[in-house]
Structure 1
């Protein structure tokens, strides 16, 4: 059906442009030699309503129609100044040159547009339409291809600025394509079709949908007590078995009842012992072994020690063997005053070492600031910390972009720390522009009174194709952030991790630092066992010849690995 012009009084509530704040016609009109506007052949635009909110749909239609009116008005004023962009809306996808859509899955697109038609069109996001109208010319598709599976078709049919839409000369060189195709994607809604392609029976958690809170969350938390006990006691193989069982249960789509018990035999990693524990939980709502562990004084002490930044299971057991039982006794042992840390760690800016003295210094800081560091961080505060960090970074290097990773990105309402992955928007030169930037940023944050301690800092290393060490090869700093930087409010301390990645490995870094732990473990296993590849936060490589892959989007990371894209909020494969 034909589009209807919306009322001019419309105002967007999502921050998109309204008539009052859209670019003025002077910004959208470009100088050109005088031409007859009526003789120009318009680009026909079909806007697919699916997944576009009604108010956003109205905005897009109004932008095009208002632009057309201004364009004709300017041309008829005889100034010889008209827009290079001549758009016309159509309600028929088959007649359109360009399809504007918020859909990213080819299968879903083909529910609305015949596949034969889709292959003959440029399929772009709504941002292409807005940005083209702002610039006054049809922009290249590079940053705007909506459906990755149809990128080649879009490349052939979407015009470069000022060029004929059917001209093959609009194709750019491969290096130019890479330079212009990188962007930081906004958070996308969950694609139902993608979730349907995942299976809770899959062996790898990167093939299963794992929500933050699952239907069997109480069972997961009970099993997690046993997992934590095995971890604290150094029983890593047993701990991994329970971790895998938890990841399977997290993906189970409904509450496990007596009649579901038989179906559990079809699921991976649920041996007889785990099966009997689940049976016990279904009958009683508890697992006896878990309750016994909770009441154990050794478990209580080790758990308390393990909450201190810098203390792992091995150190916790060593401290317990020394006769220490409480955090207060730990403070006396390390001669720490709660809330006050005078340990100097900015010297670590010369790159961290894991010497015994450095480790002890980290423990003292974590112990002194434990009351603040143990508090979770609400999402608005996480976002404000990221905004502050990027504002300070802009004083050092313009053009940097960031994504908040970790539990925040997986949808947690409260985060234990803040993980910020940073890169530069320049694909070709970005790797040089971010090199050494981590240290410069930490120094500035320290000078501004925002970073008080540096727990670890490291520079870039070559991608470790043989995986001979645990850490990735990215430049990173694990810091203590003093927040807020305002004398009228009491300061609190937060853990903030700053991770720098070159543009070509930015999305592997985002995926690697988003988690969860079991999801990342299985992602590496899948890459190794099923694809003959190596994946970590610093890149994807082929094992037999060390060929490197450079995904341009997060979806491309999964595509390279031969996986269905798993939405970040569906990667919660841990308890």
Structure 2
């Protein structure tokens, strides 16, 4: 399969290689040979042959081209390729022709008459039959459930976003994430590039990836990324709890590409990284909703024992309806303002005394509205009292979670077809030799004052892109500053208080979207 290549487009033809060394015998005919499916070497040979015969053969596609010659492509494929060059703004050449016209012209030594048999076949599509989609520009205006009709396309764009993020190219990563979010919100599968006309956030790069998949079933760029040694090394190393992109990149420069090489390297690891390496397999295994609920019961018991009346909420992806996740997040508050101060060390002490913590790092609340003012940080990292931890979930507790999973799973989920799709969802599986009687789980605990609880709940529910879009909407459309602590109106120079997520959406002038529809 020849990768689809985006060639530089020239509006004037400057820089193109036409007839070098001789004048064109046929100045009204300007040819361009499409490399796609023809191959580079064959294209070079045929181009040289045409120039020797006195034809103008452009090296780069431009608006001067009158005849596009292709091999083994349909008219629809060529037209889509042309549209992708400058996102549809190039004039379509007069003729889209099969290679047979070119070879006959070469034999005749002149441009032969264009007959029907030379013309590329294009599917006659009634514009009225093409289902075009329409979605709002901001992700926080869209209702996005977990029912994704375009998973093949969004998975590809998400992988390229991950590649960009691991290469410290945040802007490119956000662009791919926004494009994927648009496709996730569509009510039906995308089958034609025509359906995407007018949709927001679909840049030229994303459109080329989508087109490649629609035409060829896969994206050459995505497949190349999957085979990239650096990409796979970054994924493995950043999969270690406590290891970021910069640390992983430094290790790769030192020749470290996997866990075994890291362990043998003698690198100095901090406490979090040592714990992450020790529990790597567990922490990279999905956590089931039932396991999250089991951990929630433990945390609830801890909170109740040190501060009766405190409230705990399961947040993150599980609140959005996901059945599995990478970690488990809980938000804790107390209905009486100030009672939550100093709560986290007490919770951590109780959990440690019961043997539930393999690792923990606690940070104090460093946010003071009166001192920090309305300016929000560039990232969405809040400053609540928080505990990053690794939980020790015993086999007995896991078995209870698995039983709950089984009881709550429909009977048709256990058909051979359904089971073939199961990867690792916490259901019963064969115990390997040396199986330990517990597993490690990443757990984040966050304590918020009741006055900031609605903002914290909204910020910690996600998805990450949905929250980014909320903040973008607030700043660009409403002249407001939104964080997980507060909402500030820059025009009125005052904070806008809220006791619920619904009130925050109302302040922002947005229709309320429930958590299960925030999976952008």
TM interval, shorter chain, is 0.5 to 0.7
Partner of 2:344: 438
What is the deviation of 1:485?
A: 8.4
Name the CA distance, whole Å, in 2 between partners of 1:566 and 1:331: 46
Structure-1 separation of matches of 2:266 and 2:321:
37
Deviation at 1:460, TM superposition (A): 4.3
- Structure 2: segments with no counterpart, 5+ residues: 1-132, 400-435
Residues 505, 209 of structure 1: alpha-carbon distance in 2 compared, 3 angstrom cutoff: same
1:332 corresponding residue in structure 2:
264
Partner in structure 2 of residue 234 of structure 1: 168
1:204 maps to what in 2? 138
1:224: which partner in 2? 158
Distance 1:485 1:540, change over 3 A: farther
Q: Aligned residue for 2:392?
A: 482
Write out per-residue CA displacement over residues 98-157 of structure 1, whole angstroms, 9 at most, x where no aligned residue. xxxxxxxxxxxxxxxxxxxxxxxxxxxxxxxxxxxxxxxxxxxxxxxxxxxxxxxxxxxx
2:515 counterpart of 1:568: yes
Match of 2:320 among 389, 394, 410: 410
Are 2:308 and 1:398 aligned?
Answer: yes
Answer whether contact 1:449 1:485 (CA < 8 A) is retained. no
Deviations for 1:188-232, whole angstroms, at most 9, x for unmatched residues? xxxxxxxxxxx9521110001222241001111112221111111
Q: CA deviation at 1:511?
A: 0.9
Distance 1:485 1:446, change over 3 A: farther
* Count of residue correspondences: 347
Q: From 464, 471, 476, give the equivalent of 1:524.
A: 471
Are 1:263 and 2:210 counterparts?
Answer: no
| Residues 98-497 of structure 1: pairs in structure 2 closer than 5 A | 201-258=135-192, 261-334=193-266, 360-425=270-335, 430-463=336-369, 464=372, 465-468=374-377, 470=379, 471-484=381-394, 490-497=437-444
Contact 1:424 1:503 in 2 (8 A): yes
CA distance in 1, matches of 2:309, 2:317: 26
Which one has a bigger Cα radius of gyration? 2
Secondary structure of the residue aligned to 1:210 is coil
Give deviations 1:50-73, integer Å, cap 9, x for gaps. xxxxxxxxxxxxxxxxxxxxxxxx
TM-score by length of 1: 0.58
Deviates more, 1:311-320 or 1:486-495: 486-495
TM-fit CA distance, 1:438: 1.2
Deviation by residue 1:480-509 (Cα, 9 ceiling, x = unmatched): 111138699812111111111111221211
Provide the C-alpha distance between the structure 2 equivalents of 1:419 and 1:200, rounded to a whole number of angstroms.
Answer: 34
Cα distance in 2 between the residues matched to 1:231 and 1:325: 18
Q: Which residue of the partner structure matches residue 164 of structure 1?
A: none
Distance change (3 Å), C-alpha of 1:462 and 1:254: same
2:295, 2:281 → 1: CA distance? 19
Cα deviation, residue 479, structure 1: 0.9
Give the CA deviation at 1:549.
2.7
* Contact in 2 for aligned 1:245/1:269 (Cα 8 Å): yes
Partner secondary structure for residue 395 of structure 1? helix
Displacement of 1:515 in angstroms is 0.7
Aligned partner of residue 274 in structure 1, secondary structure: helix
CA RMSD of aligned residues (A): 2.1
Give the structure-2-normalised TM-score. Answer: 0.64
Q: Tell whether the 8 Å contact from 1:435 to 1:460 is kept in structure 2 after alignment.
A: no
Of 496, 504, 515, the residue aligned with 1:557 is 504
